[in-house]
Every structure is written in C-alpha cells, then in structure tokens.
C-alpha cells in the first residue's frame, strides 16, 4: 500500500492532471532554512584531547526569482537564481577545566536550481506538485570566526573555487487564481553532492599547548517555501493575439 501511494505521488494518473501547458511564468520566493537532525543536517561534534566543539546549524534563509515553463499538462520545468545564507553556532569547550565559549558564523552562496515538476489537481484551483532536480552553487568566500575570549579560532575553507552541485527535491501546494497569480506553499530538501567546506577549530590553551579539531560541513538543509507567481497567459494564446493584430 505504501509503495502504491508513493507511485501515485511521483507518477500521478494522467486523467486528474491539468498544469501550465505552454505557459511561461515569473515568480518570487522566500525560504526560511530550519535546523533538523534528519538527513545529515544536524549537530557536528569534533574533538582533540583538551578541545571539544559542537557545530550546530541554526536558522537561515533564501530568496530569489523563479521562472517556470510548462511543457505538457503534467510536466513543467523550473529554474531561477537564489541568494542563500546558512548560519551556524559553535560552542567550544576546554575538556580539562569545563570552560566553554560560544561563536557563530555564516556561509553565503548563490544557487541556480533546475528541476522538473509533476502536478496533481486536487480541486478546481488547488494543485499539488512534486519536483526533483539539481542546483548549481557558487559560494561567496571562505569564512573565519573567533570565540568571545579569542582563544578559540574557527576557519572554513571552500572545497571548490567555482561551482558545486546539490540534489534538490520539493513537494508543495499551489492555489491558482484567475487574474491575481498563483500562491504556493511547500517544503524543500537540499543535499550537496559533497562537503562544501574543509573546516577546523583551533584552541590556544596556553603559550605551549595548541589543539586543533577538523571537520567538514555538508551544507544540507531543509526549508519551508513561500512563492508567488505572476499571472501570465499561455504562450499559444499570446501568439494567436499577435497574429490577429
């Protein structure tokens, strides 16, 4: 039964589908990023003798523009460009004394998602869609940060100087008005194909002892998706109007 439901969600019956055939639509989106222990998007613990550190993803956000192109009544392509800011909290601890000090940092990137959408019509104007694809990512720069007492130092170096990639998946619901555009709410999963940074935390305990703990940031995140698509007429209708003129 579970397999049947999954098949219906990914490959829905043709008879109940009615999507944006031959329509080119522009939209905007805002996506708050939230922390999760699932899918490798949770806390990282790293150690080196007297040093122990935890790195935890916190709230971030993404926003940008979307272009959607309908091909058939059930399939559309979606692309665009987005600004993404991932935030992380660090807590560094001296294992011997129990002394700890907090820090934080953020990673900024620009992403170009490319995905195919499949639609299910749930009502006269309500639709559900699932989407899968690949996102190209360009990070702004390496990052570093210090703890409040300056004895703990963090550095994250990007694993690539140009573009990296991530697998993306999305599910959501869309309400389509006649003349006021489309309103969308959903959730997305973003999983880079490899670690996005090689990172370390260094602790200068005294003039003679320095400890270093290495780790990698995967960069996986989950989002809630809020989108608005401007109203557009189908391409073929626009062509017919042009010919009549």
DSSP conformation class of 179: S
DSSP conformation class of 206: S
User: Which position has the higher pLDDT, 31 or 237?
Assistant: 31
Residue 136 has pLDDT above 90, yes or no: yes
What pLDDT score was predicted for residue 26? Answer: 92
**Residue 143 in contact with residue 107, Cβ under 8 Å?**
yes
DSSP conformation class of 95: T
Tell me the pLDDT of the chain averaged across its residues: 84
Residue 172 has pLDDT above 80, yes or no: yes
What pLDDT score was predicted for residue 96? Answer: 85
Task: Please list, residue by residue across 31-62, b when 16 or more beta carbons sit within 10 angstroms of its beta carbon and e when fewer do.
Answer: bebbbeeeeebeebebebeebbbebebeebeb
Q: What is the pLDDT of residues 74-89, one digit of tens each?
A: 899 999 999 999 999 9
Q: Collect all residues with Cβ–Cβ distance below 8 Å to 172 and sequence separation of at least 6.
A: 128, 129, 184, 185, 186, 187, 225, 227
**Residue 92 in contact with residue 67, Cβ under 8 Å?**
no
When pLDDT is averaged across residues 94-110 and rounded to a whole number, the result is 90
Of 141, 170, 129, nearest to 31 by C-alpha is 170
What pLDDT score was predicted for residue 70? Answer: 87
| Residues forming beta bridges with residue 105, ordered by sequence position | 88
| 3 state DSSP class of 28 | strand
Q: φ, ψ for residue 7 (rounded to 5)? A: -65, -40
Specify the CATH architecture of the domain 10-244.
Beta Barrel (2.40)
Which pLDDT band holds residue 236 (cuts at 50, 70, 90)?
Answer: low
Helix (H) or strand (E) holding 130: strand 126-139
DSSP conformation class of 163: E
When pLDDT is averaged across residues 189-212 and rounded to a whole number, the result is 89
Residue 149 has pLDDT above 80, yes or no: no
What pLDDT score was predicted for residue 12? Answer: 40
């Amino acid at each position: 039964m579970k397999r049947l439901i999954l098949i219906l969600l990914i490959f829905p019956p043709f008879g109940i589908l009615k999507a944006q055939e031959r329509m080119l639509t522009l939209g905007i989106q805002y996506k708050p990023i939230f922390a999760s222990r699932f899918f490798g998007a949770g806390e990282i613990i790293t150690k080196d003798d007297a040093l122990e550190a935890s790195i935890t993803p916190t709230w971030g956000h993404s926003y940008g523009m979307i272009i959607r192109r309908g091909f058939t009544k059930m399939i559309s392509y979606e692309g665009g460009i987005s600004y993404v800011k991932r935030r992380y909290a660090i807590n560094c601890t001296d294992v011997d004394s129990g002394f700890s000090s907090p820090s934080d940092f953020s990673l900024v990137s620009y992403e170009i998602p490319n995905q195919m959408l499949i639609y299910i019509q749930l009502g006269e104007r309500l639709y559900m869609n699932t989407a899968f694809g690949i996102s190209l990512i360009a990070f702004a720069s390496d990052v570093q940060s210090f703890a409040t007492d300056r004895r703990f130092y963090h550095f994250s170096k990007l694993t690539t100087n140009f573009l990296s990639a991530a697998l993306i998946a999305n599910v959501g619901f869309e309400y389509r008005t006649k003349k006021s555009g489309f309103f969308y709410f959903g959730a997305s999963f973003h999983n880079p194909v490899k670690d996005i940074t090689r990172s370390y935390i260094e602790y200068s305990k005294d003039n003679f002892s320095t400890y270093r703990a290495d780790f990698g940031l995967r960069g996986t995140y989950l989002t809630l998706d809020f989108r608005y698509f401007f109203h557009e007429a189908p391409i073929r209708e626009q062509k017919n109007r042009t010919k009549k003129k």
